Amino acid sequence: MKEFKITYFFDEDHYIRRFVHLDSFEEAKSLVHDERGQYVAFFDSREIYHELDTSNVRVVQISEYHRENKAER
């Protein structure tokens, strides 16, 4: 399973990031496409709950994320 970072941009200064675990980039792309125009609810890494209205998003970026293990530094 891979981790993907999905960034939703509302304008040049405002965005929110969401991390999802899926098998492929195509699955991540399909997820974003299927959620278009809907509300998406999720918790972030700090356990803060978010409800995102995807119809207000101007740009979406998807990238595979490679988390660094800070303990190994």
Q: What is the mean pLDDT of residues 35-53?
A: 93
Q: Which two tokens stand for residue 72?
A: 């190994």
| Residue indicated by tokens 């303990």 | 71
Domain tally, the chain: 1
**Contact at 8 Å (CB) between 1 and 27?**
no
10 confidence band (pLDDT: 50, 70, 90) = very high
Whole-number pLDDT of residue 71: 67
Kindly report the pTM of this predicted structure: 0.84
CB atoms inside a 10 Å sphere around CB 57: 19
pLDDT of residue 68: 79
Q: What does the CA dihedral 73, 67, 65, 12 come to, rounded to 10 degrees?
A: -80
64: containing domain: 2-72
Does 7 score more than 70 pLDDT? yes
Helical (H) or strand (E) element with 55: none
